[in-house]
Amino acid sequence: MYRLACNDEIAHGNDRAIYRHPDHPERCIKVARFPERGSHQNEREKGYFDILKQRGVDDWRYVPEYFGTLETDMGEGLVFDLITDADGEISATIRQYRQRDDMAWLESQAFRDELQRLYLYLRDNWIVPSDINDRNIVCQRRADGTRRLWLIDGVSNPDFMPLANVWPWFARQKIDRRMKRFFAKLARVGLLPESDREELARSAQ
């Protein structure tokens, strides 16, 4: 059993906390913040990533790879790749970039190109985001000076009748709707001109 409670958190949300893996610093562990209550997010994510693995998904360029579960002093943890910059620092989210007024890349064509690549990656692999926002997409600075967007959270399909888990057409319909809503949010905060938002929304057609 891994003891996490005495270690520093990387981040946390309402339901879960994220810790660096004690034995594999290139990975992270997602656990329930309140172990006695469990974690609905962990349950949904575990089930969905098990489906992706069974389906043979092996392209983890825009969603961190899942490595199964382990037991911790805070209950069952899910193990994923930890997305870090070339200098080893944990990659910052879009929201963190905005909060520190580091806007140059977010307002560039390179950012819009990465949004399109993320969108097409999700469609090609029919990986459904249950939630996509500026808090769960990080901007990874790479050694060659480029940046990559990663969807680090909110990947699952909580539908009661999850047709999108077994039929690509249903999955891509969901992906299209959620990405278009996300593009609209970015447009409202000034990160996407309206013409670019429309172009991105059409790019998978």
Enumerate the domain spans of the chain: 9-81, 92-202
Kindly give the confidence (pLDDT) of every residue in the chain, 205 residues in length, as a single tens digit, with 9 standing for 90 and above. 899 877 778 988 889 999 999 999 999 999 999 888 888 899 999 999 999 999 999 999 999 999 999 999 999 999 999 999 999 999 999 999 999 988 999 999 999 999 999 999 999 999 999 989 999 999 999 999 999 999 999 998 877 567 888 889 999 999 999 999 999 999 999 999 888 888 998 887 7
Q: Are 57 and 125 in contact (CB under 8 A)?
A: yes
The CATH superfamily holding the domain 9-81 is: Phosphorylase Kinase; domain 1 (3.30.200.20)
CA angle 137, 139, 141 (to 5 degrees): 160
CA angle 161, 135, 12 (to 5 degrees): 90
Q: Are 3 and 13 in contact (CB under 8 A)?
A: no
What pLDDT was estimated at residue 24?
Answer: 95
What pLDDT was estimated at residue 160?
Answer: 59
Residue 115: exposed, middle, or buried by beta-carbon count in 10 A (0-12, 13-18, 19+)? Answer: buried
What pLDDT was estimated at residue 30?
Answer: 96
What is the distance of C-alpha 116 from the center of its chain? 15
What pLDDT was estimated at residue 161?
Answer: 65
Cross-strand partners of 167? none
Cα(first)–Cα(last) distance of the chain, in Å?
A: 48
Tell me the two tokens of residue 70. 């382990």
Residue spans of beta strands (DSSP E) within 73-176: 75-81, 92-93, 137-141, 147-151
